[in-house]
Amino acid sequence: MLNCRACLWRCIQALDVPTINAHRLRRNVNPLLTKGHERLLSTRNAARQEDNNEAGQGSTNRQDHFKESAFAANRKRAEFLALRQNHARRVDETPNLARLGRRDPRISDSDWNRRKRELRHLQDPLDLATFVKQELAKGKVTEMLQLVRMASNSMQCIVSWNHIIDHYLAKERVNDALKVYNDMKKRAQFPDSYTYTILLRGLSMNAHTSGVLSKALSVYHSLSAPNSRVQPSIIHTNAALRVCARAGDMDALWGVAGKIAESGPASANAITYITIINAIRQNLLINAPKGESEEETAARKERGIIEGRRMWEDIVRRWRNADLVIDEELVCAMGRLLLVGSRPRDWDDVLSLVEQTMDIPRLIPRLGTVERQAAGFPRLRAPNVPTQYRFDDDHLSPDNTSTRGDEFLPLKLHSMTGGLPHALVFARPGNNTLSLVQEACQKIVANKVAEEYWELLTDTRTYNIVPDLNNLHMRLRNFRLNRASAAAVQLLRQDMMDKGIKPRPGTFRIAMSTCVRDKNNHNSLKHAGQILNMMLKTLEDIDPKTITMYAELAISFPLAKGSDLVDALTILAPISKNIRLQLGVGAGQKGYKRGPQYLKGEERHDAVIALRRIHGVYDRLLFSNLIAEEMKIPFKAERARLSAFIQRILFQDGHSKLKEDVEEAAPVEEADLHGYLQKEAGQGEAEEGEKDDGRPEWKKQWVEQVERPARRGKLKVSSATTDIAQLEKMGNDGGSIPKRSELVKEAAKALTTAQIKEAQTEQQEYAWSTDPLTRKPLARPVVSDAAGILYNKDSIIEFLLKEDGDAEKAEMKKIGGVKDSELGTFGDRVRGLKDVVEVKFEIENAEDGAKGSGEKWKCPITGERLGAGSKAVYIVPCGHAFAGSVIKEIDERACLTCSEPYAENDVIPILPTAPTDIARLNLRLKTLKEKGLTHALKKAPGSKKKRKHADTATATNGDANEPRTSTKPSSSSDEEKKAKTNKENGTTKPTPASTDSGIKNSATASLTRKVLQEQEERNKRRKMAQNENVNSLFSKSEHKAAKGNSADFMTRGFSIGKK
């Protein structure tokens, strides 16, 4: 118990209790006082008693003159100064300044003294390194370099040297950093491992500088020198590999990689493999030789993929032995290398890679397996892949088994000791994995699988990956591949706008391109408008490229109505005003931060293109009959303003090739191919005498308007100052002061062959898709006249039913046919349904015989598509259409579809352009007129042959048949004359009903007479209405009675049988 000091102390305290009869263990005196102190204490007390006695005995008014003397005051002052004196050593006496040596002549005296005063307070290397780092951040590089050089004489300050080297490399001063590195070694400051790491890492950040690779390799190889104090680690190797990869030198990279140890601390880690794999991928994409063919590119990519696959086998082996940790970055690096490959199998192996390393099961069987064939997946077409790389497996092992792709099969672990195998540490998927899987599904065209992977990885109950902007962009690209415009709009609204993710201009471009690809959808234009509204709410300034795509969609939308184009222009009108403001003035030109910024460079060029496309939307609306003419007035005014602004901007920007820029606007030409058929009021007569160059009328006017400033731009323009001064004088209103060279009409230039072919192609596309009478899309039933031009049959019927004095019918009659022919106008060729033949096309991919616009027609024999650019013919009178080559090859003159015989001259070319075909059609039409036949090989009304036949019938049949033949018209005309004379004289011929009715009751007879008169008037009106055009609508006697009411065409009326 007494071993503890606390217990012993308590025992002693218990014994030291004051009692009456007990002796104290402690002394009364202070134990700290020795005997000498006790003696002095007793002497002092005695002296005090004597002094007190003397003071009591002496005088009380005696003073101490010593304290008041000057000597005491000086002594006290000296004592005070001695207390305040600083006992610090001199500057030269501090350890770090004891060996400074002579002053460096490059340093001034003032700087030398300042550095010495700083070093006096920096005795520790850590304090020195902290101070150097702080001052380097302030830009005091020269001062800190002087300080570190002076401190190197008395201490090891390697960290301070490292800070200076790092600062130089961060400022891209590579040579200065290497000088400091060499200066450091000269001053016996030996670089440590961090010095080489900082140096190699900084050189990799400056790999774009000339000569960096050679300097980095010299520094790295110096680590392997015999006299090196630092052994190279994998960190140094990774930094050197990064320099080689960024410099694009694969030979140097493989040279460094060849020195990596197989095992140990210097062996490769995940960063090493990531660097090498990314370098291989970058080399395949960027460092392509000039003039390389497609096959050579595919072969070079194949070699790179094989290198990556061999490396992955080593990665899996080390991962299986727990020597390597696989993370998401390594998996995605290998996956993106596979996506660069030329084989579909490489793209498909990405999903196997994800399954192997992340334990995410494949949602689609492997390519080329039996399971994939059994699942019913179609064979991957891969049209952009060379033929020799398009198959599932290209190289086989000696035993004819597939070996490609086995590197990415899931691992099957087996324990060598018979116990449980150790579990692998799988990588956790993230946003990079989500983008990788979506891109792989896009490559192998697996839209449904992409959606399943998206739901699996983003589900909160599984991996709970929150999609970022890159993931959403990849998802939008899959939607674009699948033409899912509605899904793209939903993704923008729900996954981005509602969750606070701000879209970028590229986001809206991808979404808008999805709508453009889905243009055959009825709602694609509406979806594009919703995307445009979201862009207006999100972005500060609109994206011109997105506007361009929206306008192109509105122009090329095949199902557009007038209301659709009006809605599109309603959205585009304020946007065009903003673009005009950015092109004209802009807030940025005046120095304001807020407001539309002035566009320059490429952005300005994109904005001008967007305005041209908007101008094309106006053209399509105005040069069509989608809306009434009175509704076009405000759109014409806005189009004129926009056109003037575009001309002014192009003139100000000094474009010299305006005509080429205008011709680049192909969608505008697509929209207004039928514009040349419509002429402005009052211009028809003036343009009849002009020579037709084959271009649409709208294109003539537009090019003529744009060429005027182009010609002005080709004049002598010495400087931009002169142009601006002239613009200021003109008022910037779009007009200009004409010169004599502009007022004098220039000679017409001959069209080039390319321009002629372009105009013919435009006309062919228009004629194959649009009815020239009503400008509506062609839809079955389609008919053709003697010139081979296609019409809708209902348009022909509407034309024939119109009265002769109708203005619209008069305009239809003026529509021309084939150029340079004697076929005449439409009104000369078609006077009844006998002058047209119904053309029977075979529909490509027809479903249940559905009719509609936009159908694709093909030849029933060869399967060749019939349309613009193809030569097609049809046979009269059956009307079956074939490719022109089919008719030339066969010898038998019988239809290949219905076996009906035909003459050689009855093969009609559709929309002929060759002069020989046009001449043959002219000759055929003249021959048929001479024979009294129509284009359909039927008797022409009022022909000589018919009258001759009628006269012969009258002479043969005699008087018995007289009322039914030639005498009928004469009798009817006599009756009409008699009725007219009686009406003028006020007399009426009594009807048989009134005279011979036999009704005695006068009231009943009168009522019966009125009913019979009304019936007779009704019959007369019916006979007058039954002209040749109306009778052609109903079935003829040649139709069979078994057909019943369905015998007439298009079920417009019922068959009228004879009594």
pLDDT grade, residue 52 (50/70/90)? low
Q: Tokens representing 517?
A: 């690809």
Residue of higher predicted confidence among 104 and 148:
148
Instruction: Give the separation between CA 383 and CA 367, rounded to whole angstroms.
Output: 17
User: In a 3-state reduction of DSSP, which class is residue 843?
Assistant: strand
The whole model's pTM is what?
A: 0.56
Residue 822 included in any domain: yes
Residue 801 included in any domain: yes
Instruction: Give the separation between CA 769 and CA 772, rounded to whole angstroms.
Output: 9
> Which of residues 191, 214, 230 is at a domain's end?
191
Place of tokens 């024939």: 800
Burial per residue of 488-527, b for 16 or more beta-carbon CB atoms within 10 angstroms, e otherwise: bbebbeeebeeeebebeeebbbbbbbbbbbbbebeebbbb
| Residue 79: per-residue pLDDT | 82
| Residue 737: per-residue pLDDT | 52
Residue 109 included in any domain: yes
Residue 529 included in any domain: no
- Quick check: 194 pLDDT over 90? yes
Phi, psi angle pair for 400, to nearest 5°: 60, 35
pLDDT grade, residue 62 (50/70/90)? low
| Residue 946: per-residue pLDDT | 44
Instruction: Give the separation between CA 672 and CA 696, rounded to whole angstroms.
Output: 8
Q: For the chain, first and last CA: distance in Å?
A: 147
Residue 810 included in any domain: yes
Sheet holding 842-843, edge to edge: 842-843, 857-858, 865-866
Angle at 522 between CA 519 and CA 524, to 5 degrees: 50
> Which of residues 895, 912, 931 is at a domain's end?
931
Helix, strand, coil proportions of the chain in percent (round to 5)? 60, 5, 40
* Choice among 140-154, 668-682, 871-885, 972-986 with the minimum mean pLDDT: 668-682
Residue 169 included in any domain: yes
Instruction: Give the separation between CA 160 and CA 133, rounded to whole angstroms.
Output: 8
* Choice among 195-204, 414-423, 567-576 with the minimum mean pLDDT: 414-423
pLDDT digits (tens, 9 = 90+) for 99-114: 677 788 888 989 888 9
Residue 168 included in any domain: yes
Contact assessment for residue 916 and residue 942, using Cβ atoms and an 8 Å cutoff: no
**DSSP output for 676-713:** GG---TTTHHHHHSSPP-SS-HHHHHHHHHHHHHHHHH
pLDDT digits (tens, 9 = 90+) for 568-612: 999 999 999 889 888 876 544 445 555 667 788 888 899 999 999
Beta bridge partners of 857: 843, 866
Share of the chain above pLDDT 70, in %: 69
Place of tokens 């002929």: 912
Sheet holding 790-792, edge to edge: 790-792, 782-784, 837-839
Contact assessment for residue 866 and residue 881, using Cβ atoms and an 8 Å cutoff: yes
pLDDT digits (tens, 9 = 90+) for 607-634: 999 999 999 999 999 998 888 888 889 9
Phi, psi angle pair for 883, to nearest 5°: -75, 150
Phi, psi angle pair for 909, to nearest 5°: -75, 140
- Quick check: 474 pLDDT over 50? yes
Residue 899's domain comprises: 763-931
Angle at 611 between CA 609 and CA 612, to 5 degrees: 65
**Hey, which of 252-261, 805-814, 837-846 has the most confident mean pLDDT?**
252-261
Residue 140 included in any domain: yes
Instruction: Give the separation between CA 485 and CA 495, rounded to whole angstroms.
Output: 15
Q: Tokens representing 905?
A: 């001259």
Contact assessment for residue 924 and residue 910, using Cβ atoms and an 8 Å cutoff: no
Neighbours of 1058 (CB within 10 A): 4
| Residue 803: per-residue pLDDT | 82
Residues in contact with 817: Cβ distance below 8 Å, sequence separation at least 6, in sequence order: 785, 787, 789, 823, 824, 825, 826, 829
> Which of residues 153, 172, 191 is at a domain's end?
191
If one counts the domains in the chain, the total is 2
Instruction: Give the separation between CA 528 and CA 513, rounded to whole angstroms.
Output: 9
Residues in contact with 117: Cβ distance below 8 Å, sequence separation at least 6, in sequence order: 91
Dihedral (CA of 605, 608, 613, 619) sign: negative
Contact assessment for residue 355 and residue 410, using Cβ atoms and an 8 Å cutoff: yes
Instruction: Give the separation between CA 951 and CA 954, rounded to whole angstroms.
Output: 5
| Residue 437: per-residue pLDDT | 95
pLDDT grade, residue 681 (50/70/90)? very low
